[in-house]
Amino acid sequence: MSPSAHLDLLAALGYAVFEQSTDGSFHSLGDAPEWLPAGSLMEAFPFLEVFLPDAEAFWADPARDHSTLPSDFWTQTDARGNNLHFCAIAVAGEQKLLLIERTRLRFEQTQAFVQYAHQTKLAHDEIARLGRELQRATEAKSEFLARMSHEIRTPMNALLGVAELLSETPLNAEQGEYVRIFRRAGDNLLNVINDILDFSKIEAGQVELEYIAFDLADVVQEAIEIIGVRARAKGLCLNSDIRPEVPPRLMGDPGRLRQILLNLLSNAVKFTDRGGITVRVKPDADQPAPCTLHFTVRDTGVGIPFDRVSTIFDSFTQADASTTRKYGGTGLGLAISKRFVELMGGRIWAESTPGDGSTIHFTARFSVAETTTALEARAPKATAPAALANRALRILLADDSEDNRFLVRGYLRDTGCVIDEVTNGAEVVEKFKGGAYDMVLMDAEMPVMDGYSATRAMRALESERTGPPTPILALTAHALKEARDRSIEAGCTDHLTKPITKTALLEAVHRYAPEHPNAGRIHVAVESWLKPVIPAYLEKRRGDVAKLRFALDQGDYATIRTLGHQMAGSGAGYGFAEITEIGGTLEESALAGDAARIRDGVDALDRYLNNIVTE
């Protein structure tokens, strides 16, 4: 092909062709296409400023002979405002050729491809951003709720507590009634707050179910007993029927199950004026799993209007807004129950004939509990709080609020407990160092040093002495799970949420009261270099107590003599003169075959070992 034939072909393909002269300028070869602007090439195409240096380097490189170098696309606007797209091509050969192409198709294809990639990425980023925004909003909401609940619960604590104390003072009939109304309204308000808090926690996904062993019959019975007071007051009867096929011991969340039943039962009582309410539990016929249970709560009340049956579990709807006004409550109880049921892998629904009562059904999944679990072994002692009386515990109470200290003092007045009071974390640690306390009641938020830091400091002190750890009960106005976790993490034994009722406080104090209160504690100062071996030594002696009792049962006086002898020889050396003395007595009595005296000796040793605190 002749050079001019080449040019014709290039022109036909839409290229403007230029050749570089030796002086570096460009002149056009062949006919200029109609789109080529008049004037100098560089004026017409500013883009060439950045492309030509690359083209020059390319042309200068002999290895590039007969190859081409394309430029990037560039776009510029013509006099009529249209966007035109161009691209340049440097061709290496005998001549230095520069082709300029006005492109449309190739440009648009590239653009479509990149556009798709960018838009996809932007959409992903936007979703991620919305996710972060939602997360922040949720956190802000639960933070706000936690703070609100704190702000409300703290004064509520004082109000309800004082009302409780007031109700225990001599009152005339009229005053008694006022106090009762006062307490009932306070309890209702507290229930409302708890409902809202519960609901928000569920909404924020902050609820985790427990998984522990429990007796189904106990849970049902407890719910019935609690609601029974109200049912009896209205003349209703309340029954339960658990089918024999239902396994009696289950694993699951008894607290939440109780809450569901309480919600359903209290609703049923609210809307029933005659007849009764029955709770039934049977295996779920639709589920092959043995432990999916079907609960029904049936009442003989006003029933639910047909068109409302499906919406009563939505938040904030009670069958009729007017019922909220008439019967009280937040209308959240059923919505909360629904969420709990769903968390338990079940569903909840209602059946009703208006005027003829309604039945609420729900299913929930559990598993069958093995025999006694470790958890049960730790279950609280079941004795009544009254058993606290005359235990004479020494309690260290730390709270900066005078109102709260007044309440706790009032609650514990008749128990014989001796209470030392401090108002900040630093004082608590100071007092704890000096005195032997059976229990510490610790407000979490105090000035100077908060309850968490104080608890940590006290646990650190304890790690340097022997003897069982002192129960520390955190008292906070925070109801969220994080608050509880925080207390436990700091080393608290348990966590009580304000407002604390008298019953709850007494129950907790009783539950955690040590078997052998400090009142009878024996403090022994030991040499610091002996401290590391003391725990093992005392542990061995505790083992001896069991061996001694066994030997005594068997009439094995030889063993008793040996053990007594060993104790007599070692006790004082470790700083426990009492052990030496008891050991001597045991040795002597064993020689004499005096069983009664041996028994006294072993008891004395047991007591001594249980009450000893080394410092």
Partner 1 sequence: MLKKKICMVGQFGVGKTSLVRRFVDSIFDERYLTTIGVKIDRKDVSVDGKSLTLMLWDLAGEDDLAQLNVSHLRGASGYILVADGCRASTLEKAAELQQRITQTLGPIPFVLVVNKADLRDQWEVQSSQVAQYGWPTFETSAKAGSGVEEMFLGLAAILIRSHAASEAPGQ
Among the candidate windows 117-125, 193-201, 400-408, 498-506, which touches partner 1 by CB under 8 A?
Answer: 117-125
Q: Of the two residues 118 and 542, which places its CB atom closer to partner 1 in the complex?
A: 118
- In whole angstroms, the minimum distance from the beta carbon of 73 to partner 1 comes to 3
Interface with partner 1, residue 110, by CB under 8 A: yes
Number of shown-chain residues binding partner 1 (CB under 8 A): 29
Q: Does 53 bind partner 1 (CB under 8 A)?
A: yes
Query: What is the distance between the alpha carbons of residues 497 and 149, in angstroms, rounded to a whole number?
Result: 11
Q: What are 87's strand-pairing partners? A: 101
Using CB under 8 A as the binding rule, whether residue 127 contacts partner 1 is answered as no
Query: Which among 106-114, 142-150, 360-368, 531-539 is the span making contact with partner 1, rule CB under 8 A?
Result: 106-114
Strands across the sheet containing 249-252: 212-215, 249-252, 367-368
CB of 123 to partner 1, least distance (A): 11
Rounded Cα distance between 408 and 393, Å, is: 14
Among 104, 121, 184, 243, binds partner 1 (CB under 8 A): 121
* DSSP per-residue letters across 159-212: HHHHHHHHHTS---HHHHHHHHHHHHHHHHHHHHHHHHHHHHHHHTT------E
Chain positions 28 to 47 lying near partner 1, rule: CB under 8 A, are 46-47
Shortest distance in whole angstroms from residue 21 CB to partner 1: 23
Q: Is 58 in the site for partner 1 (CB under 8 A)?
A: no
Q: Are 29 and 10 in contact (CB under 8 A)?
A: no
Select the span of 83-91, 225-233, 278-286, 486-494 touching partner 1 (CB under 8 A): 83-91
Side by side, which strands form the sheet with 439-443? Answer: 418-422, 394-398, 439-443, 472-476, 494-497
Gap between the Cα atoms of 607 and 600, Å rounded: 11
Does 107 help bind partner 1 (rule: CB under 8 A)? yes
Q: What's the burial of 375, exposed, middle or buried (CB within 10 Å: 0-12/13-18/19+)?
A: middle
In the bound complex, what is the minimum distance in angstroms from residue 61's beta carbon to partner 1? 17
Q: Which helix (H) or strand (E) covers residue 476, if one does? A: strand 472-476
Residue 549 carries which side chain, given as an amino acid letter? R
Per CB under 8 A, the list member of 31, 72, 139, 177 interacting with partner 1 is 72
Supply the minimum distance, in Å, between the C-beta of residue 138 and partner 1: 17
* Contact call for residue 169 and partner 1 (CB under 8 A): no
**Contact region with partner 1 (CB under 8 A), list: 112-120, 329-337, 455-463, 603-611:** 112-120
**Contact call for residue 123 and partner 1 (CB under 8 A):** no
Q: Does 574 bind partner 1 (CB under 8 A)?
A: no
Residue with tokens 């002149």: 27
125 binds partner 1 (CB under 8 A): yes
Terminal CA-CA length for the chain: 110
> What Å distances lie between residue 543 and 1, 514, 575, CA to CA?
112, 20, 19
Cβ atoms of residues 360 and 310 within 8 Å: no
- Our finding on whether 50 is near partner 1 (CB under 8 A) is yes
Told to check if 60 binds partner 1 by CB under 8 A, we report: no
Residue 76 near partner 1 by CB under 8 A: yes
Q: Which stretch binds partner 1 (CB under 8 A): 74-82, 166-174, 392-400, 546-554?
A: 74-82
Site stretch for partner 1 (CB under 8 A), options 2-10, 70-78, 174-182, 552-560? 70-78
Rule CB under 8 A: is residue 119 a binding residue for partner 1?
A: yes
Q: Is 73 in the site for partner 1 (CB under 8 A)?
A: yes
Q: Which is nearer to partner 1, 49 or 515 (CB)?
A: 49
Residue 70 interacts with partner 1 (CB under 8 A): yes or no: no
Choose the binding region for partner 1 from 104-112, 158-166, 438-446, 522-530 (rule: CB under 8 A): 104-112
Answer whether 260's CB lies under 8 Å from 337's CB.
yes
Nearer to partner 1, 52 or 417 (CB): 52
Q: Which region, judged by CB under 8 A, interacts with partner 1, from 19-27, 73-81, 310-318, 415-423?
A: 73-81
Q: How far apart, in whole angstroms, are the C-alpha atoms of residue 385 and residue 559?
A: 42
- Our finding on whether 25 is near partner 1 (CB under 8 A) is no
109-117, 399-407, 556-564, 569-577 -> range binding partner 1 (CB under 8 A): 109-117
Q: Does 111 contact partner 1 by CB under 8 A?
A: yes
Ordered DSSP codes for 278-323: EEEEEE-TT--STTEEEEEEEE-SS---GGGTTTTTSTT--SSHHH
| CB burial of residue 51 (10 Å; 0-12, 13-18, 19+) | buried
> Dihedral sign, CA of 362, 366, 372, 374?
negative
In the complex, minimum distance from the CB of residue 401 to partner 1, in angstroms, rounded to a whole number: 39
Beta strands 83-91 and 68-70, pairing class: antiparallel
Min separation Cβ 74 and partner 1, Å: 5
- Does position 54 interact with partner 1 (CB under 8 A)? The reply is yes
Residue with tokens 């799970």: 481
- Considering just the CA atoms, what is the radius of gyration of the chain in Å? 42
> Based on CB atoms, which residue is closest to partner 1, 4 or 40?
40
Point out which span in 108-116, 221-229, 261-269, 427-435 binds partner 1 (CB under 8 A). 108-116
Of the pair 4, 120, the CB lying nearest partner 1 is at 120
Asked if 605 and 582 count as a contact pair (C-beta separation under 8 A), the reply is yes
**Residues with Cβ < 8 Å from 210, sequence gap 6 or more?**
252, 253, 254, 255, 256
Contact 611, 466 (CB under 8 A): no
Asked if 114 is part of the footprint of partner 1 (rule: CB under 8 A), the reply reads: yes
Positions touching partner 1 (CB under 8 A) are 46-47, 49-50, 53-54, 72-77, 83, 85, 87, 107, 110-111, 114-115, 117-119, 121-122, 125, 129, 132-133
